[in-house]
Amino acid sequence: MKIAVLVKRVPDTASVFKIAVDGKSVETANLKYVMSPYDEHAVEEAIKLKEKNGGEVIIVSVGPSEAKEIIRSGLAMGADSGLLITGAEALSPRGLAKVLAAALKTLAPDVIFAGKQAVDDDAAQVPERVAELLDMPHASVITRFECLGASVVVDREIEGGQYTLELPLPALLTTQKGINTPRYPTLPNIMKAKKKEIREMSVGELGLASEALAAGCTVEAFTLPRQERLRKVLEGESIQKVQELVRILRETEKVL
Amino acid sequence: MTLGGLLLVVLIVAAHAVFFARVYFIIRCIRLGQGSLPAAFPLLRMKDVLVKGFGQVLVLRQPAGIGHFLIFWGFFVLTYGTLEGLIAGVFPGFSFAWMGPFYWLMNTLQDWFGLLVMGALAVALYRRFVWRPRRLQASLAHTIDALIIIVLIAVLIKAFYAMRIIEPKPGFTPVTDMLRPWFVSVTGKAAHPMGYAAFHWLHNVVVLSFLVYIPFSKHLHLITALPNLYFRDEKRIAGRIPKLDLEAEGMESFGISKITEYSRKDLLDVTACTECGRCQEACPAYFTNKPLSPKEVVLGLKAHLFEECPALLRDRTAAPKKALYPDVIEKDVLWACTTCRACEEACPVEILPMSKLIGIRQARVLMEGDFAEEAQTALRNVETQSNPWGLPQEARGAWAEALGVKTLAEDANVDYLFFVGCAGSYDQRYMQVTRAVARLLQEAGVSFGILGAEECCTGDSAKRIGNEYLAQMLAQQNVDTMNGYGVKKVVTACPHCYNTIKNEFPDYGGNYEVVHHTELLAALMQQGKLKPKQGPATVVYHDSCYLGRYNGVFDAPRAAILASGTLKELLRTRSNSFCCGAGGGRMWMEERIGGRINEERSKEIIQVKPEVVATACPFCMTMISDGLKSEHRADIPLKDVAELLAEACGIVKKDVVEGE
Ligand code: SF4
Ligand code: SF4
């Protein structure tokens, strides 16, 4: 069984973020990067499936060549090889999905796992787009996975409950936190991961037309969440305070 | 030779055969361990054996040790007579009388020691069966073991006196002389040739039974304790965890997952246990009813060693009957250890129970990735942001901004590197301590700088949780940075950083003169560069394990406290100090079993009615602060020694609290 996992290199959310001078991007100089946390659950689920049914796990990522480190951490968890596509990291989810779909077509996996979203832009759509492009059934935000051979059964989290789906293979699934506990890499696996292959290819090698990669949307501006407090205490009767609060939220802060 | 003599010869030979066969077996067991026994500097080692072994210095640290001292020396003195008796049993009429005055002296000593040893035995019996202090509460088998030995020795001494009463020897022997009239009045006559022979036989048979019994019982320590002192491993003393070679060719297994992966010294260690229970009595985990007892760890390993060895001696690759983990050392035993080192400090024969546990932790973490999830989160945070909270590495030097403290990148031409540590950089409360230290150093005109965002976690928690790989990366990174700036002297406000930099960084090529902030501050006071004003407060100081027991820094924090108030000591203080519960990575794990160590310690603190509690370690501060809260005594101010001193030196509070 061939299992692919889509992972993304993202800044650690604990980093100090600064907006770059262009106002449309984030300064990357002092950022620490990690594998997007939901992707770790995807890698874990893929390795568990491999341990049960045999096969191979391939970690696939789009990013700069530094993203190899992130792939390497998936290999240290027990995946077998990696594929990194460079030169496409600036693409919008639409273009990104096309690149990944083209690359995955050459791999022809039986199961594809991905985190439910990447914690940098929280777009939460690339894996689903990939599945649609590959014409694969897909289920997002799964909290349980079971392989029945030709099909898989998953639980999906929904507001206030969950429902269970059965999908024929090949299929794509995105993982939610509760599904498993990503393993802590062992030293022998870390050592082995250093020798495992990570294939690097540039987006050009996929032969996609540049208009196909055109952005569906573009970033206009980035702003940081405002952190300073107003330190304002409302006075008067409760009813007046509530009215005043609503007025401020609507007129001054324009959040309602 | 008489028939009796012949019989005795047969018994002597048989007893020695059994004895040496067992000793040989034990030596072969120990030789299944890795490496060789440390043996450099034989003269120093001999001195150790003389002072700690024959001088019984370690044993005598507790009052009960006096009894042991008497039995120990009584053993040597009485063995002189025993030997004479054995030879005389084979060659009737033999005696050491030709030794002249020495003979006289030894006879005198035997007479005295006989009484002293009997007294010590009575106390030993009383402690085991009437008083029963917690450390001597043992399983039935172990209690019977103790009883057998006590009875054997008592019978020996009785027989000895009986023989001397019947057949006096030259010497000043008041005890025998006093007993003689009583003996005569009971038996009706003074000469008892048959009686003498009977006691002589009894004595000889008991001596030989004792010889056979020793290596099968806890009294194996008679044979192994002195060698254990002799072969002490200086690479491991004082809690130092040697660097593992992770890149060794063909290495496939790291840490300890089989008993034979321990070093020979480790195995010698476990055979030397006297079952005295001092380690257990000192252990904070045991004290709070967790399943860990360092004594049981050692005895468990000893039993396991002897159980597995026969098969292993036939075939080195034999599969073990029991797994070291989790059959011999269980999960909750392994992870309960705070690495406070109280057990190692307490042990009279320098056994290192804690080191045994660390080895198994290394195997769990490096080979299986198996350790508490909360701790995994902390270590992952260390991997990305180089601090266990996962706060931005970039913000590491943020505490210093308003104080005008420069980084080495800005100015490397300073005397001291102030190595701040993770807690000092990120913990809101401890940042105040960091600022107090920095302000005091500025006040005293010390030239120092920090690494700021270039500083990494030293890896103390990672190392003691067992993640040697991560610990090595962190250490190397820090050493490379520090060496890059030509750092020579380091001051740190964290005993864990202190211990790691001082005792473990040399393994990575980092050799610095390291001082804890309390040491530097005490020195600055002495040089008159800091002039604190005496205040009235009664301060209770809680010793940090890693500063005190690990590195012997007891007086500097006290000197700093005395300059600003009066000092009150806790019942368990200095090298007996009781852990706060946070060491060994326990800071990052939930404490789910038994009582809480920090609450126990806080109760002890509250008991002595302090006006102020002082600590010198960020972990201690957090743990004691929580402990005081749960004991509803958050009203007692808890301060670092540096903060007390800053106040006494009139440093503006605002500087320290807000750093503005
Ligand atoms: S180091 Fe401390 S906690 Fe660990 S076994 Fe020894 S006494 Fe107990
Ligand atoms: S390890 Fe040391 S302190 Fe503990 S019981 Fe054995 S001899 Fe005593």
Q: Tens digits of per-residue pLDDT, A175-203?
A: 999 999 999 999 999 999 999 999 999 99
B477 reaches A (C-beta below 8 A)? no
Section B147-154 average pLDDT: 89
Contact predicate B433/B618, CB 8 Å: yes
Q: What is the pLDDT of residue B660?
A: 44
pLDDT for residue B653 is more than 80? no
B152 reaches A (C-beta below 8 A)? no
**Which residue in B206, B339, B217 sits closest to B271, CA to CA?**
B217
Report pLDDT digits (tens) over B434-489.
999 999 999 999 999 999 999 999 999 999 999 999 999 999 999 999 999 999 99
> Is the pLDDT higher at A54 or at B184?
A54
CA–CA gap between residue B371 and residue B361 (Å, rounded): 8
What is the residue extent of each domain of chain A?
Answer: 2-213, 226-256
- Asked whether B59 lines ligand 2 (CB < 6 A), one says no
Q: What is the pLDDT of residue B634?
A: 94
Contact predicate B515/B590, CB 8 Å: no
CA–CA gap between residue B75 and residue B203 (Å, rounded): 14
**Which residue in B581, B419, B582 sits closest to B493, CA to CA?**
B419
pLDDT for residue B136 is more than 90? no
Strand pairing partners for A81? A58
Angle at which helices B641-648 and B517-526 cross, to 10° = 30
Integer angstrom CA distances of residue B463 from B330, B382, B579: 20, 12, 19
CA B260 / ligand 2 centre spacing (Å): 21
Section A158-178 average pLDDT: 93
First to last CA, chain A: 51
| ipTM for this model | 0.84
**Which residue in B515, B504, B417 sits closest to B459, CA to CA?**
B504
First to last CA, chain B: 96
**Which residue in B515, B507, B425, B517 sits closest to B463, CA to CA?**
B507
Banded pLDDT at A10 (limits 50, 70, 90): very high
Name the phi and psi angles at B602, rounded to 5. Answer: -65, -40
Report pLDDT digits (tens) over B102-114.
999 999 999 999 9
Report pLDDT digits (tens) over B265-304.
999 999 999 999 999 999 999 999 999 999 999 999 999 9
Dihedral angle, C-alpha B277, B282, B284, B287, nearest 10 °: 60
CA–CA gap between residue A120 and residue A104 (Å, rounded): 23
Q: What is the pLDDT of residue B336?
A: 97
Task: List strands edge to edge, sheet with B448-449.
Answer: B448-449, B416-419, B489-492, B513-516
Share of chain B above pLDDT 90, in %: 78
**Which atom of ligand 2 is nearest to B277's Cα?**
5
pLDDT for residue B48 is more than 60? yes
Number of H helices, E strands in chain B: 27, 8
> Is the pLDDT higher at A159 or at A76?
A76
Report pLDDT digits (tens) over B369-425.
999 999 999 999 999 999 999 999 999 999 998 899 999 999 999 999 999 999 999
- H or E element, residue B499: helix B495-499
Using a CB-CB cut-off of 8 Å, the residues of chain B touching A184 are: 365, 369-371, 376, 379
Name the phi and psi angles at A19, rounded to 5. Answer: -80, 135
What is the residue extent of each domain of chain B?
Answer: 3-30+62-230, 259-368, 375-648
Q: What is the pLDDT of residue B637?
A: 95
Banded pLDDT at B658 (limits 50, 70, 90): low
Name the phi and psi angles at A60, rounded to 5. Answer: -120, 135
Three-state DSSP state, A63: coil
Report pLDDT digits (tens) over A207-226.
888 877 887 788 889 888 87
Q: What is the pLDDT of residue B464?
A: 97
User: CB-based burial of residue B140 (10 Å sphere; 0-12 exposed, 13-18 middle, 19+ buried)?
Assistant: exposed
One-character DSSP codes across B68-127: HHHHHHHHHHHHHHHHHHHHHHHSTT--SGGGTHHHHHHHHHHHHHHHHHHHHHHHHHHI
> Is the pLDDT higher at A47 or at B170?
A47
Contact predicate B551/B616, CB 8 Å: no
Residue with tokens 């050799």: B511
Q: What is the pLDDT of residue B584?
A: 94
- Beta strand B489-492 with B416-419 is parallel
Report the CATH number of the A2-213 domain. 3.40.50.620
CA–CA gap between residue B117 and residue B153 (Å, rounded): 9
CA B332 / ligand 2 centre spacing (Å): 20
One-character DSSP codes across B421-483: -HHHHH-HHHHHHHHHHHHHHHHTT--EEB-GGG-----HHHHHHT-HHHHHHHHHHHHHHHH
Q: What is the pLDDT of residue A14?
A: 85
Name the phi and psi angles at A144, rounded to 5. Answer: -150, 145
Banded pLDDT at A251 (limits 50, 70, 90): confident
Angle, CA A134 vertex, CA A133 and CA A139 arms, to 5°: 90
Using a CB-CB cut-off of 8 Å, the residues of chain B touching A16 are: 392, 394-395
Contact predicate B289/B594, CB 8 Å: yes
Domain B259-368: which topology?
A: Fumarate Reductase Iron-sulfur Protein; Chain B, domain 2 (1.10.1060)
- H or E element, residue A111: strand A111-115
- Say yes or no for a CB contact (<8 Å) between A184 and B393: no
- Say yes or no for a CB contact (<8 Å) between B246 and A34: no
CA B308 / ligand 1 centre spacing (Å): 26
Section B588-602 average pLDDT: 95
CA–CA gap between residue B225 and residue B521 (Å, rounded): 41
Q: Of the candidates B369, B384, B393, which has its C-beta nearest A186's C-beta?
A: B369
Residue A232's CB is within 10 A of a number of other CB atoms, namely 8
Report pLDDT digits (tens) over B90-101.
888 899 999 999
Give the number of C-alpha atoms closer than 13 A to the C-alpha of residue B538, restricted to the C-beta side: 9
- Say yes or no for a CB contact (<8 Å) between A188 and B252: yes
Report pLDDT digits (tens) over B181-237.
888 888 777 777 788 888 889 999 999 999 999 999 888 999 999 999 999 998 877
Q: Where are the beta strands (DSSP E) in A16-106?
A: 33-35, 56-62, 81-86
Angle, CA B480 vertex, CA B450 and CA B405 arms, to 5°: 5
